[in-house]
Amino acid sequence: MKIASRYAKCLFDIAAEKNQIDAVAADADNTVKSIAASSELSAFLESPLLHKSKKKEVLRQLFKGFNEITLSVFDMMADKSRENLLSEMAQSYINIYNNAKGITLAEVTSAIALDKETLAEIEQFVKKHAGSKQVVITQKVNAALIGGLTILFDGKMYDSSVMGQINKMKKELNLA
């Protein structure tokens, strides 16, 4: 959503000005996780029945360990009745932060858990193809792949799984 990304850009600019982008990134990550983990918090943020001042007070209590820059943007969003966009804003901030730091997020799915050497090779592959300085890999195991793996990053999917090859052959033979 454009509104959430505007708040995130504002937050990033202020954090950069005050040399606090890493601390604010940690706040953003915790915000996304906290809202995703709590249906009560989500309902609270979505509720139009609660007064802005009450929402600001509760948000400051819930996130009292956060950087003051982060909290001031939370206040501003609550003042504008945009607190329901906190999770989207925080995720947008993380995306801006990763882009600025040259960090690429990659999701690797394989039939079995991968060893450190294989993950290091995947990291080099992603760095080369994404042109990034750093890669953060999330590993998933899906036995349905039978063998091989898939790598998802920057909206691209690299599929070398056995299941992927079977599906490709089916498509070529018009069986799918």
Q: Which range among 29-33, 61-65, 158-162 shows the weakest confidence by mean pLDDT?
A: 158-162
* pLDDT for position 33: 96
The pLDDT of residue 124 is 95
For residue 130, the model assigns a pLDDT of 92
Single-letter residue type at 167: N
Query: Residue 167 pLDDT more than 90?
Result: no
Question: At residue 176, does pLDDT exceed 80?
Answer: no
C-alpha angle 122-138-100 in degrees, rounded to nearest 5: 85
Say whether pTM exceeds 0.85.
Answer: no
Measured distance CA(120)–CA(105) in Å, rounded: 14
- Average pLDDT of the chain, as a whole number: 93
8 A C-beta contact, residue 174 and residue 143:
no
Res. 175: pLDDT tops 80: no
Produce one character per residue of 29-60: b if its CB has 16 or more CB atoms within 10 Å, e if not.
eebbebbeeeeebbebbeeeeeeeeebbebbe
Section 104-126 average pLDDT:
94
The residue among 168, 165, 169, 108 whose CA lies nearest residue 142 is 108
